[in-house]
Structure 1
Amino acid sequence: MASLKGFIACILVVYLSVILHRIILNPKISVISIDLDYISFVLLNIDYKSPYLYIVTLIVGFLVHYVYNLLFRPLNRVRLLGDVGYQKDGKFTMKEISNRVKHMRDVGEIPPVYPNGWYALIESWSVGLLETKTISALGQQFAVFRDENGEAHVLDAYCPHMGANLAVGGLVTGDCIQCPFHGWKFRGHDGKCMGIPYAEKIPEVAKVKSWTTVEINDWINIWYHAEGMEPYWQIPEIEDISSGKLQYNGRTEHHVNAHIEEIPENGADAAHLMKVHRPFVGAGYELDKIWSNYASWIYHKWDATWSQRPSPEDHVGCMEVTHDVKFFGYSLFKLFEIKVKALQLGPAVVHITMEGIFFKCVLQHMVVPMEPVVQKVVQTLYMHWAIPNIIGKIFLASDGIQVDRDMSIWNNKKFQSKPILSKSREDSLITKHRRWYSQFYSEHSPRLNFQKDTLDW
C-alpha cells in the first residue's frame, strides 16, 4: 500500500511539473488544453537542460508531500518536559527550568507512586515481528518483543547471567529472546531459560520474570501488583477498533511532572473545566493569556459529572460530559455539541467515547509512570474511515492544547493530601474520586523516599 501511494505521488509530481513547466514557457496555454497525448509527448522529449523543470519539480514535490502529510498521515504530537507547562525565564532554557522545578518544588505527601492495575506499556505498531524494545516504566526495565507467531511478550530486561539488557541487541528466535552478551535464550510466556550455546545443562534457577501481558485495542498492556496478585479484572475490547469500523487517526504524547493520581483526578474535577478549559482552544495554552478579551466572544461550555460503577465493576469510574462551543453566548445549531463518556479502568487506562451530530470517535487515554513523579500521557484517536483525516488531526490537536493547559497546573502543583474543600457538588466529586482511587494502593505499594535537606531522590 505504501509503495502504491508513493508511485501515485510520483506520477502526480511529474504531471503537475510538466503542466507548470509548459505554462512557464508559454503563459497563454490553457491547462485544459494539455491532454494525455501531450503529456506523453513531453515525457518522451523532456528538455533536461531546462532549469525551470528542476525548480518546478522541486516545488511541486514539496507541495505534494506537504499536502499528503496534512490530509492523510496521522498526527503525532509530542510534548516533552520543558516544552510546555513552565513559567518562562529569559536567563534559563525551558529544559533547565523544568529540571529546576522538578527537583525544587514541594511534591507534598503523595500516595504510593505505582498503583496496582493494568498499564498500557507500548503501542502495538511500535513492536514489529521479531522486534525488541526496551522500556523504562514502573521502576522497572522491561524487554518487550514479538515472537515468530506475532505474540507479544514482556520480560524483565536484565539477563540473570551477567546482567545484559536483553532488548538492546537481543535477537528473537521462535518464542524466545536471545541475550546479546552470551546467547542465553529465554522463553516469552514464562521467562524460562531454554538454551545456553556453550553448556549442555541449564541451571534450574535460570529464568527472568515474565509479566502478565495482554495485547488489546492496539496496545501491549502488562499487569502490575505490589502484592503479586493475579489480574482480577480485564481491559474490555473496543469492538469498533478491533472490527476496523473506526480507524487510527493519530496520537498525542505529553510528559508530565506530577503524581499519577493527579492525572485521572482531572476527570472528577468538574470545577476546573470552566476555569482552565472554558476559553476557546484557539487562544492557546498559556494560562495567563487565554482569557484575552479579543477571543471572549467564543468559548467552550462544559457540564460534567463523575460516578463509580457498582461491584463487580468497582474498579471503573465513569465521567460524563456535555460540551458545546458558544458564539456570543449562543449555540450554533448544536454543530459543536459533543456527548463524552469516559470510563476510567483502574489507575491508568481510560476509554473515551465522543459523539457529535456528524461523527463518533474513540479516544484512548493512557498514563505510564516513567519515574515516581513523571508520567507519560498518551492519547490515541480513532474515527470512522469516511471522515477526512484532517478532521481527526484538528480534533486531536485541539485536545492536545487542552492537555497543554493542564500541564501548566500539573507540572508546578503540590499534591494536597488533605485539601480544604467547599461544600459543593464539584468538590464532593474530588472526594469520591480519591476514595475510589485508593483501592489501587496496597501494603507494599512503593513510595517515594528522599531526603528533604538535599532533595536527592
Structure 2
Amino acid sequence: MSNPEIAAASDARTPPVAVWQILEKLKGQDLLDWRLAEVKDRASIKERNLDIGIPFGWYPILLSSELQVGEVKPLRYFSQDLAIWRGEDGKVRMLDAYCKHLGAHMGHGGKVHGNLLECPFHAWRYDGDEAVVKDVPYARNIPPQVKRKCTRNWHITEANRFIWAWYHPQDEAPLFEVAVLPEASDPEWTDYEVHEWNVWGSLQNMAENGVDVAHFRFIHGTANVPLGELRWGDWGRGADVKAKMGTPWGEVDGCISYDTMGPGQSWTRFTGISETLLVACLAPVELDHVHVRFCFTQPKAQAEGERAGVAKAIIRDICKQFDQDKVVWDRQKFEPNPIICDGDGPIPQFRKYYARYYADQSAAAAE
C-alpha cells in the first residue's frame, strides 16, 4: 500500500476503526464483563473453518492457588468435561469427568478420599494415576472392566504458579516440557496481576497474529512493528525486538522478547521502561472458544517505587491491544488458502511451522 493510500485509510473524515468504536464505549466493569461474555451472533464452527482440531501441547487450566489439598473441581477444556483434584499428598490429578458406573459427573460433588477421587453418586473411588477403580465400598468385588484402565487420565504438571495439562487427541505422552520461568517464583517479583478473556475463535488464528505485522497500524493505531530476528525451535519459537523507547526520564534502549513453547504457553519479557514479564496462558475450551489469562509480574522495586505508574501503564496498554484483537478474533474465519501480500509478514512460514502441533496431518488447511 502506498503512503497516500495508508493516509487515506486513517483519514479523520473516515469512521474510526470498528474495534475502536466498540471499545470506546466500554469502561470499568462493563469492559471486564465484555471480555468474558459469550458472543451470541457468531457463525458456526463449520462456517468459519475452525473444525481443524485442537493442536497438541501443554495447556494451563488453573492457577495452582485455585486448587487446595482435598479439593475437587469440574472443568471444561478440549471439548471435554473433566474432574480435577488435589490429593492429600499435594499432587494434582485429573480424569474424564463421568463415572463408568452410572455416568455421574465426578467434578460436581465428588470427594477426595486420601489420593483417590470418590464419585458423589455411589462412592466409587478412582485412582488418578492408573485410571482404575480401586474401591467400591458397598460391593464385595470390583467389576473387572474397571480394575484395568477404564478412563482417560491426564498428564499434569505444575510450573510458574499454574497447573498444566497435556492434551493430545490420541492420548500420546508429552513430547516436550513446560518452560520454567524463574521470575514467576522469585520473591523479589510481584504476585501475578491476572487479566482474563474468553475469545470466541481458534488458537490458530490467534497465534498467527504474532507474525501479522500489517494489522498493527489498522487495529492498534501504531506503525508496523518489526518482527525482530525470529527463532524457530523444535517445539518453541520467539523473537527479540529492540527499539528506542521514550520515557519521562528520557529515551532508553528497550527490548520486547517473546517466546512460546507449544500452542498453550507464551511469555514476553519487556525491558527498558519498566521490566515486566507477561505469562500468556491460553487453553482451548471448544474449537471456537479459547480461555485466556494474562499474568503480569514485575520487580517489586519498580512496581511499588517511583515508577509504579509507568509499570501499571504498560499492563494497561498490553491489555488494550488484546481487547482490540479480540474484537476481530471473535468472528474471524480461518482461511485455508489466504491471499498474502508482501507486507503481511511470514504467515506461510508460520503456518508450515505451526502444523507440527496437529496430530492429524490430514488437517492440511492448517499447513
With the length of structure 1 as denominator, give the TM-score of the two structures: 0.66
Contact kept? 2:54, 2:284, Cα under 8 Å: yes
Q: In structure 1, the residue corresponding to 2:332 is in which secondary structure? A: coil
**2:334 pairs with 1:415:** yes
**2:40 pairs with 1:99:** yes
**2:128 pairs with 1:188:** yes
**How far 1:195 moved relative to its partner?**
1.0
**2:273 pairs with 1:354:** no
Structure 2 residue aligned with 1:155: 95
Question: Superposition pairs for residues 47-446 of structure 1, below 5 Å?
Answer: 79=32, 83=34, 98-103=39-44, 106-107=47-48, 109-110=49-50, 112-206=52-146, 207-278=150-221, 302-305=225-228, 307-309=230-232, 313-322=233-242, 333-334=250-251, 338-357=254-273, 359-388=274-303, 391=309, 393-424=312-343, 426-427=344-345, 429-443=346-360
Contact kept? 2:166, 2:174, Cα under 8 Å: yes
**How far 1:379 moved relative to its partner?**
0.8
Distance change >3 Å, CA 401–CA 445, structure 1 → 2: farther
Contact kept? 1:78, 1:252, Cα under 8 Å: no
Distance change >3 Å, CA 118–CA 105, structure 1 → 2: closer
**How far 1:161 moved relative to its partner?**
0.8
Contact kept? 2:65, 2:161, Cα under 8 Å: yes
Distance change >3 Å, CA 347–CA 388, structure 1 → 2: closer
Structure 2 residue aligned with 1:453: none
**How far 1:179 moved relative to its partner?**
0.7
Contact kept? 1:342, 1:350, Cα under 8 Å: yes
**How far 1:334 moved relative to its partner?**
2.3
Partners of 1:326 and 1:415 lie apart in 2 by: 37
Contact kept? 2:254, 2:272, Cα under 8 Å: yes
* Bigger Rg, structure 1 or 2: 1
Partners of 1:377 and 1:432 lie apart in 2 by: 25
**How far 1:414 moved relative to its partner?**
2.0
Contact kept? 2:285, 2:291, Cα under 8 Å: yes
Q: In structure 2, the residue corresponding to 1:150 is in which secondary structure? A: coil
Distance change >3 Å, CA 421–CA 160, structure 1 → 2: same
Structure 1 residues 343-391: Cα deviation after superposition (integer angstroms, max 9, x where no partner): 111112102111124x422111121111111111111111112333565
Q: In structure 2, the residue corresponding to 1:421 is in which secondary structure? A: coil
The one-letter code matched in structure 2 to 1:360 is E
Distance change >3 Å, CA 191–CA 263, structure 1 → 2: same
Partners of 1:77 and 1:398 lie apart in 2 by: 18
Distance change >3 Å, CA 76–CA 266, structure 1 → 2: farther
Contact kept? 1:102, 1:257, Cα under 8 Å: no
RMSD: 3.1
Contact kept? 1:147, 1:176, Cα under 8 Å: yes
Distance change >3 Å, CA 193–CA 323, structure 1 → 2: farther
Q: In structure 2, the residue corresponding to 1:343 is in which secondary structure? A: strand
Structure with greater helix share of residues: 1
The one-letter code matched in structure 1 to 2:272 is G
Partners of 1:363 and 1:76 lie apart in 2 by: 23
Contact kept? 1:315, 1:346, Cα under 8 Å: yes
Distance change >3 Å, CA 154–CA 440, structure 1 → 2: same
With the length of structure 2 as denominator, give the TM-score of the two structures: 0.81
The answer for unaligned runs of 5 or more in structure 2 is: 1-27
Partners of 1:218 and 1:77 lie apart in 2 by: 29
Distance change >3 Å, CA 151–CA 266, structure 1 → 2: same
